[in-house]
Amino acid sequence: MFTGIIETLGTVKSIEKDRSNVHFTIESPISGELKVDQSVSHNGVCLTVTEVQTSLASGEIKLQTHRVTAVEETLRRSNLEDWTIGTLVNLERCLPMGGRLDGHIVQGHVDTVAECVSVEEMGGSWRVTFRYNPTPEHLLVDKGSVSLNGISLTVVEPAEDLFSVAIIPYTWEHTNFHTLQVGDAVNIEFDIIGKYIARHLAVYGSGRKP
């Protein structure tokens, strides 16, 4: 489980296609601390670390990378297919037992993508608006929580297929949102509590059995 509080940014160093899978090598300040089989959120996608490499020069760490693999289902639902060499990726390690839930409950299971349609500077903060394909099970509530590229954010004025988020300067500078442009796709994970409520109403509210 994650919280949507980004630890650091990673940089895509290599991309290797393997049939329907894609292997990504990421360089980041925390890569050398990771372990094989560890789950890490990459732009909100929970991926398993398959390899860790640390290179030394004159006794000092010069390069830390880790490798992850995205399968076809992950590629289909997320923006990982848009990654290129040099892409900045939001990284978050799992919440430790007893840790603080500073954002909201994020599973790392991306539901779909949304398209950025506007980025407005608001005198020290930013309002970013997205368009997405709404479905009954994917709920957005004004002032509710949503994960975008793994960042825990508050929904502002959701409409039929549009919603906005407000970005404070710290989040803007310390995540990949400062690289976001109109037309870019971001990963969305809708609030898990809202998804369970929507599923319950769809099944039991209609009188159908699950």
Q: State whether 142 and 187 are in the same domain.
A: yes
pTM of the prediction?
A: 0.89
Q: State whether 119 and 81 are in the same domain.
A: no
In a domain, 146, yes or no: yes
Q: State whether 124 and 172 are in the same domain.
A: yes
CATH of the domain at 89: 2.40.30.20
| Residues 62-82 pLDDT 10s | 789 999 999 999 999 999 999
For residue 94, what are its two tokens? 């799992």
Domain encompassing residue 135: 112-200
Q: State whether 158 and 89 are in the same domain.
A: no
In a domain, 209, yes or no: no
In a domain, 106, yes or no: no
Q: State whether 63 and 142 are in the same domain.
A: no
Tell me the residue type at 141.
Answer: V
In a domain, 44, yes or no: yes
DSSP E strands: which ranges in the chain? Answer: 8-18, 21-27, 39-42, 45-57, 60-70, 88-93, 112-121, 126-131, 145-148, 151-156, 162-167, 185-190
Q: Quick one: pLDDT at residue 66? A: 97
Count structural domains, the chain: 2
| Residues 163-202 pLDDT 10s | 999 999 999 999 999 999 999 999 999 998 877 777 777 7
Q: State whether 129 and 181 are in the same domain.
A: yes
Tell me the residue type at 93.
Answer: R
Q: State whether 192 and 124 are in the same domain.
A: yes
